Amino acid sequence: MLFVAAILVVFATSVYGQHQLIIRDNGKLCTPWIPTTGGQISLTYTNNPECVGQVGFEQHSTFMQVRLCCQALPTTTASSIFPRECGRQQYQPIKGRIVGGMHAHPNSWPWQVRIHADGGLCGGTLIDTRHVLTAAHCLRTPIVPQKYMVYIGLHDINQPVYNEQQIVAEQIFMHEQYDTLTSENDIAIIRLSKPVTISDKINVICLPGPEAHNANETVWVAGWGTTSFQGQTSPVLKQASLHVMPDRCGMIFRTYDNRKQMCAGAYGGGHDTCQGDSGGPLMYESNGQWFLNGVVSYGHECARDGYPGVYARVSYYLPWIRSKLSAV
């Protein structure tokens, strides 16, 4: 896919950087909303070949945000009941928690996968029909891909259903600079031995643009991990809503790197990921589509007040991810 850089001058805040036209909204492709405070600046954007016509800017009804948009090429779907676009689901999620929380609505996170290897359990996220993004610490060296089984479309491990798919790994990419001591670059990709069949219960999530920032906003996590520190894993997929806390982890974890990692938790504790949720998604919604913000990495116990969790920042690793997806 060919990308062309361009410049557009708008009245906006002093925010610089590359913005991507990746969010579909009512037949348009747009950048994320950009906060504004006034003043004329130049915004650089990366053009999308699916754009039709010129790129222009739109102002939010609150007059405090702008975004760049173009008319998008029409998309086609194989099923009228399920849009074959990333980050969309037919079964909407309900509110709940992982630690001490509620079950997720079946198939409301259609990109969530469960990974088994040598008795270990991790989560992962389907980012295209052949690749799953997970955490590097979920892998055991020496890596033998055939030992990793990926379950897609699963909700309750005690009640398998017809739409569930089980696919063994074909190749595994652990980040070359993963540090087991600091958990830096805790990210990996599993290439499946065959493509996943997309359906009304299985879909891929959207990757974020490089400018994805969600300070203090609500994000979501899901998994089959333990429901308390050193407790029992959950047979049913659970979910939780968290808040991005950009300043907290740097004060708690000595090796935390805000460029490569994200910090998220619940004010007052009670919501968190736990053992077995590692590698799973940290997600946010924008204009009806879900994007993968982070990968579950580490924390201090589970849901403890004052101790948010640390997540690999997906936007930072986009060049690495794309290099592995294109590798033969």
Residues designated catalytic: 137, 186, 278
Look at residue 248 and give its three-state secondary structure.
Answer: helix
Pairing of strands 65-72, 34-35: antiparallel
Length of the chain: 328
Q: What are the start-end ranges of the H helices in the chain?
A: 248-252, 318-325
Look at residue 47 and give its three-state secondary structure.
Answer: coil
Pairing of strands 18-20, 40-46: parallel
Cα separation, 226 vs 253, whole angstroms: 22
Q: Could you give the maximum distance between any two Cα atoms of the chain, in Å?
A: 58
Residue 286, Cβ neighbours under 10 Å: how many?
A: 20
Cα separation, 201 vs 274, whole angstroms: 25
